[in-house]
Amino acid sequence: MSSEQNKTFFIETFGCQMNFHDSEKVAGSLVSQGYRQVQTVEEADLIFYNTCSIRDKAEQKVFHRLNDYKKLQKQGKQFAVIGCVAQQEGERIFERAPHVSLVAGSASYSHLPEMLVQIGRGERATGLDDRQTDETFETEFTARVSPHRGYITIIEGCDKFCAYCVVPYTRGRERSRTVESVLDEARQIVQGGLTEIQLLGQNVNSWADPEGKHTFATLLAEVGRVPGIRRVRFTTSHPRHFTRQIVEVLDAGPTLCDHVHLPVQSGSTRVLTAMQREYTRDEYLERIAWIRQAKRELSITTDIIVGFPGETEEDFHQTLSLMDEVQFDGIFSFKYSPRPNTPAITMQDAIPEEEKTRRLNVLNEHQREIQRRNYQRHVGQVVEAMVEGTQHKLGQVPGRTTQNKPLNFTIPEGVAIPAVGSYVRVRVIRAHPNSLVGEMLAAEPTQ
Ligand code: 5AD
Ligand code: SF4
């Protein structure tokens, strides 16, 4: 028996869904090497932090964690920092936190086994990428955490270089997986008992077929046709590469969810140009018009940054007016945070912190009103919900509509509580700005 077989690890993840899914793959490949995953730092021999550096606050979290647990090194525990902060800070992490023995960016995860041997010998190990790699991290061992959704990374890295964004520097250049490997993974997920799939990529629709036959849209259609699949989602789409063909494929594919996440970032063409987003306000609105022309109603969500350097009150008002025009079903809103290595860090006319906070509050209040009306429209409808969890204390079961809206529902007397991952029909009876409330219909679950 090798010593790895006695070793335990704990992994904590920060950041986006890509990171959460990377952790599932890292954990799976460690388990396949004989390590055992545990749920607390105390039980672990090896502690992994899978980190995010999208905004300064996210980055600081990992250094707080490392500081909190520094004393555990004396008990022989080893620390590994992986993910975006690892790639960004590299060996500087050893200076800031000398108790760390492994630092690895996401483009080097396939080399983790060798790195673990190295730290087992008491050496330090690093796996850092210089945007050269064309490797993707594919493993047949994925420790899937979600009981109802299987994630598949179809494209890693980012070649977009938006002026504010750290991702091209932390996740390396774009590498797309082959259609066959994506479809194989989809079939495996179904065999494992899941019927919902989410395709992932920093720019999921920049996916480029290594064999040159498919577009992102036709890949999406293929995934939707895998037998046994009921719901397919995809994030994140970049407006520059969002085609009419994607909408046609959504129209033709009943398993493809009624939702598009299309980050706009700003409603002002001037700011979009400064951000190097490669589209104008009008081009973004043109894509929204395509989505609105779909045969079934698709929900649209977005990401918005306020307080980008040089953003005037007029620019900000253009973002508010774009929100009025589009009537988003949901937004993720952020205050601009200067990031190392990015072009925006040297830009003039920084917006003061208090002003960023004011704009963020105005923006969120504006969206709340839009969403209050948007969610209210569903009252009275009967919709399909996927069951995402077990019954809350209040007696409600958490579910989600195909439009990606949370729908918590009660169960009629005498009806069994539906299993996580099953689908039920629910009548919507109330709406909040961020969730719907309903009653499950007495009929049996649709699956
Ligand atoms: N500051 C604030 N928000 C950012 N995002 C990306 N970089 C930054 C930054 N430097 C936001 C964008 C992106 C989302 C994932 O995070 O809106 O779409
Ligand atoms: Fe954070 Fe971006 Fe890295 Fe995801 S890709 S973990 S959001 S920095």
What are the pLDDT tens digits along the chain (447 aa)?
A: 445 558 999 999 999 999 999 999 999 999 999 999 999 999 999 999 999 999 999 999 999 999 998 888 888 899 999 999 999 999 999 999 999 999 999 999 999 999 999 999 999 999 998 777 788 888 878 999 999 999 999 999 999 999 999 999 999 999 999 999 999 999 999 999 999 999 999 999 999 999 999 999 999 999 999 999 999 999 999 999 999 999 999 999 999 999 999 999 999 999 999 999 999 999 999 999 999 999 999 999 999 999 999 999 999 999 999 999 999 999 999 999 999 999 999 999 999 999 999 999 999 999 999 999 999 999 999 999 999 999 887 789 999 999 999 999 999 988 889 999 999 999 999 999 999 999 999 865 455
Chain-centre distance for alpha carbon 371: 22
Give Cα 345 to chain centroid, integer Å. 25
> From ligand 2's centre to the CA of 20, what distance in Å?
10
163 lines ligand 1 (CB under 6 A): no
Structure tokens at 308: 């980008």
Going from the Cα of 165 to the center of ligand 2, the distance in angstroms, rounded, reads 10
- For atom 16 of ligand 1, which residue has the closest CA? 54
Centre of ligand 1 from the C-alpha of residue 334, in Å: 7
Distance CA 326, CA 315 (A): 17
Q: Ligand 1 centroid to 109 CA: how many Å?
A: 24
Domains of the chain: 4-127 (3.40.50.12160), 150-375 (3.80.30.20), 382-440 (2.40.50.140)
Instruction: Give φ, ψ of 409 to 5 degrees.
Output: -135, 155
Distance (Å, rounded) from C-alpha 231 to C-alpha 446? 13
What pLDDT is attached to residue 2? 47
- The ligand placed nearest to the CA atom of residue 84 is 2
Q: Which ligand 1 atom minimizes the distance to the CA of 342?
A: 10
Q: What is the residue type of 309?
A: P
Tell me, using a 6 A CB cutoff, whether residue 164 lines ligand 1: yes
Sign of the Cα pseudo-torsion (428, 429, 432, 436, in order): negative
Give the ligand whose atoms come closest to the C-alpha of residue 52. 2
Q: Are 372 and 328 in contact (CB under 8 A)?
A: no
The structure's pTM equals 0.95
> Which ligand 2 atom sits nearest the alpha carbon of residue 166?
8
Nearest ligand to the CA atom of 201? 2
Supply the pLDDT for residue 443. Answer: 66
Q: Whose CA is nearest to atom 5 of ligand 2?
A: 167
φ, ψ of residue 221 in degrees (nearest 5): -60, -40
Give first-to-last CA distance, the chain, whole Å.
Answer: 44
| DSSP assignment string, 93-150 | HHHH-TTEEEEE-GGGGGGHHHHHHHHHTT--EEE---S--------S------SSEE
Which of the listed residues 161, 165, 332 should we mutate to test ligand 1's pocket, taking the one with most ligand atoms within 8 A of CB? 165
Ligand 1 contact, 10 CB (< 6 A)? no
